[in-house]
């Protein structure tokens, strides 16, 4: 059987290597709403208690939807670094509690306690470490968050504030895990395990189909509609999904006559797993999250444990790249729906005796605008340039606005509303999901980026210190000289940048290093990005020295409400002084 399993695995690896993609299940229709909800939650939760009444008006349906569909890591990745800065401020200064099973915890006290526990030799820990420790400590916070995210929470015993804090902090935990994984070059385990007590018969029937496809030589070139027949992801995701790098931990969830899944290529689930085991705390051996709905899971073999009667099912995962908006079948679906709706509006005959109020018979002006709208929708399809998506939307919405201005009947307006809804849906799919919690103070931006840079470099130190395998040490030898420069405590930006660029060149020349340590290149690029941002802000200070002067005045509690003329005078004065000294 192992031989057959290996052959099936080779077929599926061939399938993945040909950049096989699954049609995404309406991916990203909630993205824009997620962005708006997060921004509002962060803003309101940062305010004093008297303004918390605004919390009830913030909808979180979009965040819940993305959580259910397993795309929280996609959202978290697009949050900028200041998202976690805002979350830290909320935990540090707010007074929020969570109750579970009759126990209550104050989140600010939990935050301070975890921070104190992680403080070593007077050095404060990174916020990511504190947040992940908060999640891993056995407390009402950990239990309540998992209950809400997993869908087994009792709504009657949960306040609106608890629910919204849990959804926001769950996203922050994902962001912290992704950052830590990148900075410390975490390796995904070679195998991941998932234990469950249901689905046994379904898995066996799917495996029989897989073997039949392999025997007929069809598995390595399988079409999307056929892949759906052998995909077990829906069975796995019937409940909240937890995975572990320890088979014993997973087996405990299988119970008698249950099953343990052995995921053979967990890199396909790398982001999904990103938050697990980040600080080696026992509770993090099982990280609760959702199986992304663009992942297919295919059974390739079965072993049975005679002692416990537990069935071990070996599976391969295929993660669809088609969720990117430029390739998304969802965009095509929306455009097709738009064309169908518009053609129907233009060409469907209406009765001669229909009352004017219920008529959809259009004027010449309305027909002309509808025809222009059809032409706009068909143009990007003939020439699918991703950069033209915004232009398409802008033109379409302008034409729709003109249609609304033609004094339509109520019945005609319903048709326009249907078109508007589809355009809004399209807008949500291609929306830029980057959530910006921008700092405006130049010095604060420099300090924030400097902190990110230090975290990244410290992460690389921890990674290198943890390498014990001789083969891995030998593999990294070409990078040693530049890594030593990169990790030197007394480094300067010029040497740092040079070392980082050298490492990127070496990774390009030695692709086997990058393929083995998959997150190394991304982490090194982060270093260069931080250096660029710091340099950019320093240039702003040099060009506008009054910013620095104002900052000094603020420190001395001196008012700084200068106008344009005063600002110019301050700039001239400081520039003159700087020239004398430098």
pLDDT tens per residue across span 13-60:
777 665 454 444 444 456 667 777 888 888 888 876 656 677 888 888
Closest Cα partner for 297 from 247, 244, 236? 236
Most confident of 234-243, 303-312, 485-494: 485-494
Collapse the DSSP code of 304 into the 3-class scheme (helix H, G, I; strand E, B; otherwise coil) and give the result.
strand
pLDDT tens per residue across span 93-130:
888 999 998 999 999 999 999 999 999 877 788 898 89
The mean pLDDT value for 385-402 works out to: 74
Determine the Cα angle at 544 with ends 543 and 549, to 5°.
135
Collapse the DSSP code of 79 into the 3-class scheme (helix H, G, I; strand E, B; otherwise coil) and give the result.
strand
Residue 330: what pLDDT? 53
Closest Cα partner for 141 from 103, 89, 85? 103
Residue 523, CA distances (Å) to 27, 181, 456, 463 in order: 28, 9, 7, 12
Structure token digits, residue 417: 């509303």
**Residues 522 and 184: beta-carbon distance below 8 Å:** no
Residue 520: what pLDDT? 92
Helices (H) and strands (E) counted in the chain, each on its own, are 26, 8
Q: What is the mean pLDDT of the chain?
A: 76
Residue 451's DSSP bridge partners are: none
Question: Greater confidence, 31 or 452?
Answer: 452
pLDDT tens per residue across span 319-338:
765 433 333 445 666 777 78
Angle between helices 31-45 and 410-430 (to 10 degrees): 80
pLDDT tens per residue across span 172-187:
988 888 888 888 887 7
pLDDT tens per residue across span 514-564:
888 888 998 999 999 999 989 988 888 777 655 555 555 444 444 444 444
**Residues 329 and 335: beta-carbon distance below 8 Å:** no
Question: Greater confidence, 235 or 468?
Answer: 468
Residue 523: what pLDDT? 92
Structure token digits, residue 537: 């802000």
pLDDT tens per residue across span 66-101:
776 667 777 777 777 788 888 999 998 888 999 998
Name the CA dihedral angle for 343, 345, 347, 352, rounded to a multiple of 10 degrees.
Answer: 170
- Contact partners, residue 46, CB within 8 Å, separation at least 6: 86, 89, 90, 93, 94
pLDDT tier, 494 (very low <50, low <70, confident <90, very high otherwise): very high
Check whether 578 has a pLDDT greater than 60: no
Distance CA 98, CA 416 (A): 46
Count CA atoms closer than 13 A to 362's CA, side-chain side. Answer: 23
Answer left, alpha or beta for residue 76, where phi above 0 means left and psi between -120 and 50 means alpha.
Answer: alpha
Query: How much of the chain, in percent, has pLDDT values that exceed 90?
Result: 18
pLDDT tens per residue across span 178-221:
888 888 887 777 888 888 888 888 888 999 999 999 999 988 88
Residue 142: what pLDDT? 83
**In terms of DSSP H, where are the helices of 151-285?**
160-183, 200-215, 224-230, 233-236, 247-254, 270-273
Check whether 403 has a pLDDT greater than 70: yes
Residue 133, CA distances (Å) to 142, 151, 389 in order: 10, 23, 42
Check whether 310 has a pLDDT greater than 60: yes
pLDDT tens per residue across span 267-282:
777 555 545 444 344 4
Distance CA 566, CA 581 (A): 23
Question: Greater confidence, 3 or 31?
Answer: 3
How many CB atoms are located within 10 Å of the residue 539 CB? 11
Question: Greater confidence, 250 or 529?
Answer: 529
Question: Greater confidence, 147 or 288?
Answer: 147
């Amino acid at each position: 059987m192992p031989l057959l399993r290996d052959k099936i695995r080779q077929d599926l690896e061939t399938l993945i290597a040909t950049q096989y993609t699954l049609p995404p299940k309406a991916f990203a229709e909630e993205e824009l709403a997620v962005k708006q909800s997060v921004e509002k939650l962060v803003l309101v939760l940062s305010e004093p208690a008297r303004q918390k009444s605004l919390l009830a008006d913030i909808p979180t349906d979009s965040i819940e939807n993305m959580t259910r569909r397993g795309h929280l890591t996609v959202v978290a990745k697009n949050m900028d670094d200041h998202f976690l800065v805002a979350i830290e401020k909320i935990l540090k200064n707010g007074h929020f509690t969570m109750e579970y099973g009759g126990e209550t915890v104050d989140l600010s006290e939990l935050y301070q306690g975890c921070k104190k526990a992680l403080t070593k030799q007077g050095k404060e820990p990174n916020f990511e470490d504190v947040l992940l420790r908060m999640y891993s400590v056995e407390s009402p916070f950990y239990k309540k968050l998992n209950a809400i995210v997993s869908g087994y929470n009792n709504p009657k015993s949960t306040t609106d504030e608890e629910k919204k804090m849990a959804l926001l902090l769950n996203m922050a935990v994902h962001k912290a895990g992704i950052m830590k994984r990148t900075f410390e070059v975490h390796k995904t385990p070679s195998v991941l395990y998932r234990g469950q007590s249901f689905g046994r018969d379904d898995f066996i029937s799917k495996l029989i189909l897989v073997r039949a496809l392999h025997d007929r030589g069809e598995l390595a070139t399988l079409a999307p509609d056929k892949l759906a027949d052998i995909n077990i992801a829906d069975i796995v995701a019937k409940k909240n999904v937890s995975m572990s790098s320890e088979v014993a931990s997973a087996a405990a969830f299988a119970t008698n006559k249950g099953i343990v899944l052995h995921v053979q290529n967990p890199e396909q689930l790398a982001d999904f797993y990103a938050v697990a085991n980040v600080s080696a705390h026992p509770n993090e051996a099982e990280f609760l999250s959702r199986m992304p709905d663009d992942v297919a899971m295919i059974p390739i073999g079965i072993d049975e444990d005679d002692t416990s009667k537990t069935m071990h099912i070996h599976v391969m995962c295929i993660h669809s790249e088609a969720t990117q908006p430029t390739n998304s079948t969802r965009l095509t679906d929306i455009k097709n729906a738009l064309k169908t709706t518009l053609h129907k509006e233009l060409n469907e005959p209406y009765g001669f005796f229909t009352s004017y109020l219920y008529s959809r018979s259009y004027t010449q002006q309305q027909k002309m605008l509808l025809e222009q709208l059809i032409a706009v929708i068909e143009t990007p399809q003939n020439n699918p340039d991703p950069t033209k998506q915004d232009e398409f939307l802008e033109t379409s919405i302008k034409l729709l606005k003109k249609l609304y201005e033609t004094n339509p009947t109520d019945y005609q307006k319903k048709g326009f509303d249907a078109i508007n809804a589809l355009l809004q849906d399209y807008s949500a799919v291609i929306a830029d999901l980057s959530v910006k919690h921008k700092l405006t103070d130049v010095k604060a931006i420099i300090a924030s980026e400097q902190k990110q840079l230090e975290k990244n470099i410290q992460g690389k130190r921890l990674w290198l210190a943890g390498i014990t395998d001789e083969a891995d040490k030998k593999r990294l030898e070409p990078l040693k000289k530049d890594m030593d420069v990169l990790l030197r405590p007394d480094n300067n930006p010029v040497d740092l940048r040079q070392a980082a660029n050298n490492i990127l060149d070496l990774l390009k020349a030695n692709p086997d290093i990058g393929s083995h340590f998959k997150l190394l290149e991304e982490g090194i690029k982060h270093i260069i990005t931080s250096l660029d941002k710091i340099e950019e802000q320093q240039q702003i200070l040099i060009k506008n020295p009054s910013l620095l002067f104002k900052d000094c005045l603020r420190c001395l509690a001196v008012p700084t409400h200068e106008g344009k003329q005063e600002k110019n005078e301050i700039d001239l004065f400081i520039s003159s002084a700087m020239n004398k000294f430098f």
